């Protein structure tokens, strides 16, 4: 996954690959400004991947409607001080 805020701006995520397993809760932990929020915004198609390769359950998310996509994902921001110097977001 490669993501930028706008076509004329530099990449903010570079070649990110991750796997989230069905039925499990996944925590995304990292320092402030490490890319957690941009990852979530990309999964929910709030911003677009620069290479349009975001695949969930074998489906490129750019090929389905926003309502269908967003109704099947959920996030739960948690206490930003779970670990010193980090923030956490859970994906269900």
Bridge partners of 60, per DSSP, are 55
- Cβ neighbours around 34 below 10 Å, total: 13
- Cβ neighbours around 38 below 10 Å, total: 19
Reported in sequence order, the residue ranges of the chain that DSSP labels E, i.e. its strands, are 26-30, 55-56, 59-60, 75-77, 87-91
pLDDT in tens, 30-87: 777 778 888 888 888 888 777 667 777 788 888 888 898 888 887 776 655 555 555 5
* pTM of the model as a whole: 0.68
Q: What is the pLDDT of residue 85?
A: 56
Q: Are 71 and 6 in contact (CB under 8 A)?
A: no
């Amino acid at each position: 996954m490669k993501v930028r805020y706008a076509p004329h701006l530099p990449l903010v995520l570079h070649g990110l690959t991750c796997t989230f397993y069905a039925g499990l809760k996944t925590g995304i932990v990292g320092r402030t400004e490490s890319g957690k929020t941009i990852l979530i915004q990309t999964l929910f198609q709030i911003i677009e991947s620069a290479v349009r390769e975001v695949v969930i359950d074998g489906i490129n998310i750019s090929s389905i409607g926003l309502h269908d996509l967003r109704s099947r994902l959920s996030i739960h921001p948690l206490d930003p001080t779970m670990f010193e110097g980090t923030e956490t977001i859970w994906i269900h």
